[in-house]
Structure 1
Amino acid sequence: MTFNVLMYHEFREQGDVDVLNPSTISVAQDYQDALPTVLFSYINNFKLQMEFLKSEGYHTLMLQEIKDFYEKGIQLPEKSVLLTFDDAFQSVHKYAYPILKELQFHAVSFVVLGWLSQEKKIFDTTVSLVMSKAELEEMKDVFEFANHTTNLHKRYSDGTTEMQRTSLQELKEDLVICGKYVNHPDIFAYPFGIFSSEDTKRLAEINIQYAFTTVPGVNTKSTPLLELHRDTVMLDCTLEEFKIIVERGTRR
């Protein structure tokens, strides 16, 4: 049995994305970065993608089902897919959440706790704004939350991340703080998808049980639990391209 994991970040209406320039992120933490526009999705495409999943009878997984699959040998429903949304951008609340709720889908938000603001800000299409805690919690009827660090979601010009540069004790303390807020403290997504074999060893030492990468492909019983695959749904992904991605996961 196999299953797919889909990864989304930001959403916009057609015409609201500057495809030539990355989008400046706006977070509560003192950190400057920009999101590549390839990680955006047009909301009309996303709606078509989700309606396809619904019409074809796909089951949107919850994280406990993933745990039960690996730990207890419980089979997943036919046509299972895990929907994941990284970084808790405000556009997820504005655009994606209503669609998921209407279709009665489940989804996962990988939360950078230190990025969440205390007060809601006005939505602005010219920046990638991370939502407030209150906005995130308004989505609890659809979303469950998992660990994406508290303050370690930073990258450097040499291709490393703050998660990799910090000591094992500091990493543990950071993930414990985020873990107290999210539903699944032992389920993690690597910042920017960057990881090495040393990182998987360190996560195992501090009792992280599952970690999601940005390496595409299906997940099977033999997939290493700290190297689970995710397929990025990129900007302007056509329905035909989307079908190819998700149908890989239905092959038994």
Structure 2
Amino acid sequence: MSFNVLMYHEFRESGDFDSTKPSSISVAQQYQDALPTVLFSYLENFKAQMDYLKTEGYHTLTLQEIKDFYEKGADLPEKSVLLTFDDAFQSVHKYAYPILKEYGFHAVCFVVLGWLSQETQSFDPNRSIVMSQQELEKMQDVFECANHTTYLHMRYTNGTTEMQAASLEELKKDLMICGEYVDVPDVFAYPFGIYQSNDVKRLAESGIRYAFTTLPGVNTKETPLLELHRDTVTLNCTIEEFKTIVERGKDK
């Protein structure tokens, strides 16, 4: 038995988006970066993907169901998928949330607590703006939130991250602060998908029990709990490509 995990970030209507250049992020923390366009999804493609899941009778998993699968030997529905959305960008609230709610789907948002603003900003398709806490909390009927650090979601030009540079005590404190805000504090997603074996060890020492990578593939009972797989749903992902992702490994 196995399950698939899908990863999304940002959404745009096709006419509102320049796919030739990265999108500058706007976050409450003093940090500047740009989101690669490959991590976006067009609204019409996302609708088609969710419609496919609904039509084919897919079950959208909760994190508790994942825990029960590993800890209690519970079965998962044959057609099941975990929907994850990283960083809490405004477009998730504007575009993805209404569709998920209409279909009765469940999803997970990996939250960088220090990125959330105190006041809601106007939506700007030319920037990747992170939600306010109020916007995020309005989605609680669909989304549960998990840990994506408080202030350690930053990367350096040498390919490492602030999470890796932090001391163990700094990491523990940062994860604890975010954990006090999110619904599921012991479930984590690696910032930018960057990690090494020592990071896995440090997460375990910090009380994280499950961690999601950006490495594609299905998850089985043998998959290490701190190196769970996720498939990125990329820009212009066709419905045939999407089917291939969600159907892979379903008979295992």
Q: Secondary structure at the match of 1:145?
A: strand
The whole-number CA distance in structure 2 between the counterparts of 1:2 and 1:211 is 17
**Deviation string, structure 1 residues 76-114 (Cα, Å, up to 9, x no partner):** 112110000000000000000000000000000000000
- Conserved in 2, the CA contact under 8 Å of 1:117 and 1:133? yes
Please report how far the alpha carbon of residue 251 of structure 1 lies from its aligned counterpart in structure 2 after TM superposition: 2.1
Structure 2 gaps of 5+ residues are: none
The whole-number CA distance in structure 2 between the counterparts of 1:92 and 1:249 is 28
Residue 51 (structure 1) aligned with residue 51 (structure 2) = yes
- The equivalent of 1:61 in structure 2 is 61
Q: Secondary structure at the match of 2:131?
A: coil
Residue 2 (structure 1) aligned with residue 7 (structure 2) = no
Q: Secondary structure at the match of 2:244?
A: helix
**Deviation string, structure 1 residues 188-245 (Cα, Å, up to 9, x no partner):** 0000000000000001111100000000000000000000000000001000000000
- The equivalent of 1:14 in structure 2 is 14
- Give TM-score, length-normalised by structure 1: 0.99
Q: Which amino acid in 1 is paired with 2:153?
A: H
Q: Which amino acid in 1 is paired with 2:66?
A: I
- Conserved in 2, the CA contact under 8 Å of 1:17 and 1:37? no
Structure 1 gaps of 5+ residues are: none
- The equivalent of 1:145 in structure 2 is 145
**Deviation string, structure 1 residues 142-170 (Cα, Å, up to 9, x no partner):** 00000000000000000000000000000
Residue 219 (structure 1) aligned with residue 219 (structure 2) = yes
Q: Which amino acid in 1 is paired with 2:71?
A: E
**Deviation string, structure 1 residues 175-196 (Cα, Å, up to 9, x no partner):** 0000000011000000000000
The whole-number CA distance in structure 2 between the counterparts of 1:251 and 1:38 is 29
Runs of 4+ displaced beyond 4 Å:
none
Q: Which amino acid in 2 is paired with 1:66?
A: I
**Deviation string, structure 1 residues 42-69 (Cα, Å, up to 9, x no partner):** 0100000001000001000000000000
- The equivalent of 1:75 in structure 2 is 75
- The equivalent of 1:241 in structure 2 is 241
The whole-number CA distance in structure 1 between the counterparts of 2:17 and 2:250 is 33
Question: What are the residue-to-residue correspondences of 1:1-252 with 2, within 5 Å?
Answer: 1-252=1-252
Please report how far the alpha carbon of residue 140 of structure 1 lies from its aligned counterpart in structure 2 after TM superposition: 0.1
Aligned length: 252
CA distance 1:249–1:80, change in 2 (3 Å) = farther
The whole-number CA distance in structure 2 between the counterparts of 1:122 and 1:137 is 17
Please report how far the alpha carbon of residue 15 of structure 1 lies from its aligned counterpart in structure 2 after TM superposition: 2.2
- Conserved in 2, the CA contact under 8 Å of 1:79 and 1:249? no
Q: Secondary structure at the match of 1:110?
A: strand
Q: Secondary structure at the match of 1:3?
A: strand
Cα RMSD (Å): 0.5
Q: Secondary structure at the match of 1:97?
A: helix
The whole-number CA distance in structure 1 between the counterparts of 2:83 and 2:45 is 15
- Give TM-score, length-normalised by structure 2: 0.99
**Deviation string, structure 1 residues 16-53 (Cα, Å, up to 9, x no partner):** 22111100000001000000000000010000000100
Q: Which amino acid in 2 is paired with 1:194?
A: I
